[in-house]
Amino acid sequence: MKARRALVFVSATSALIPFALHAQDVRPYDASISLGYVGTTGNTESQTFETQMLYTRRNENWVHSLEFQGLYTEQESVTNGERYFAQGKSDFQISDDDYLFGKLSYTDDRFTGFDYQAKASVGYGHYFFNRDDLMLETYAGLGYRHNAYVIEEDEGEAILTLGERLDWAFSDSASMTQSLTSEIGEDLTVSKFEIGLVSTLIGQLATKIAFQARHISDVPPDRENTDTQTSVSLVYEF
């Protein structure tokens, strides 16, 4: 059963590889896939699988980006963590440093009391730096979020979206990525912080050490407001 779950998980994360390779013949792009695994045996038997796929495509005044994250954990053959996140964002450049954007995202976190959360937003973004070795952007917008609960009735609300992102290549073989987003609604605020350090091993293969914290302002009584994740994974960059 564990081997089958692992095979399904890895197969799903590999599904975008042909798509990314095909893009090479069409337009300039950046793409990467990372896979991480932690397993323990003996007195405690547990497994954790995590993955992230990133894809960015540039075309004249447009920048399109896709992201997928997955996490699966089990202990003593009992699943105690399962989360999937998918996001698509399109930016239209109105000047060298300014853009308009549209963003869609979907989160399925099965251990927070939510069945899923789906969000859509539009807004304005600004680059403070936009070089090959350093990129810093901030953005803000308005949108709508649908909260589907496991027990309670579903609800929808208008949201204010705020975000920033930093990409810094501080050497030929090492870079840092950092992002912070907050989606503020009348009933619920969801914030996520991520930071990662990528070091090249050889060619297009690298290691990534990452930390993520996700905070939900209102959760069921038996759940925590903040989830954190620390990971070490292998990254293949296309």
Q: Looking at residues 67-91, what average pLDDT do you find? A: 89
Q: Looking at residues 172-181, what average pLDDT do you find? A: 95
Could you report the per-residue pLDDT of 93-123, keeping only the tens digit for each?
999 999 999 999 999 987 777 788 999 999 9
Distance CA 61, CA 179 (A): 23
pLDDT confidence tier of residue 15, bands split at 50, 70 and 90: very low
Could you report the per-residue pLDDT of 32-74, keeping only the tens digit for each?
999 998 777 766 678 889 999 999 999 889 999 999 999 888 8
Closest residue by Cα to residue 166 from 205, 189, 196:
196
| Residue-range domains of the chain with CATH | 56-68+84-237 (2.40.160.40)
pLDDT confidence tier of residue 229, bands split at 50, 70 and 90: confident
State residue 4's pLDDT score. Answer: 45
- For residue 110, CA distances in Å to 3, 45, 72, 94, 224 come to 21, 21, 10, 39, 13
What's the whole-number average pLDDT of the chain? 85
State residue 150's pLDDT score. Answer: 73
State residue 43's pLDDT score. Answer: 62
Could you report the per-residue pLDDT of 117-145, keeping only the tens digit for each?
999 999 999 999 999 899 999 999 999 99
Distance CA 161, CA 121 (A): 7
Residue 23 has pLDDT above 50, yes or no: no
Burial 24-36 (b: 16+ CB within 10 A, else e): eeeeeeebbbbbb
Residue 217 sits at φ, ψ, to 5 deg, of -70, -30
| Tokens 């050490």, located at residue | 209
* pTM of the entire predicted model: 0.81
H/E segment holding residue 44: none
Residue 167 has pLDDT above 70, yes or no: yes
Residue 21 has pLDDT above 50, yes or no: no
Distance CA 237, CA 235 (A): 6
| Tokens 């995202």, located at residue | 105
State residue 205's pLDDT score. Answer: 95
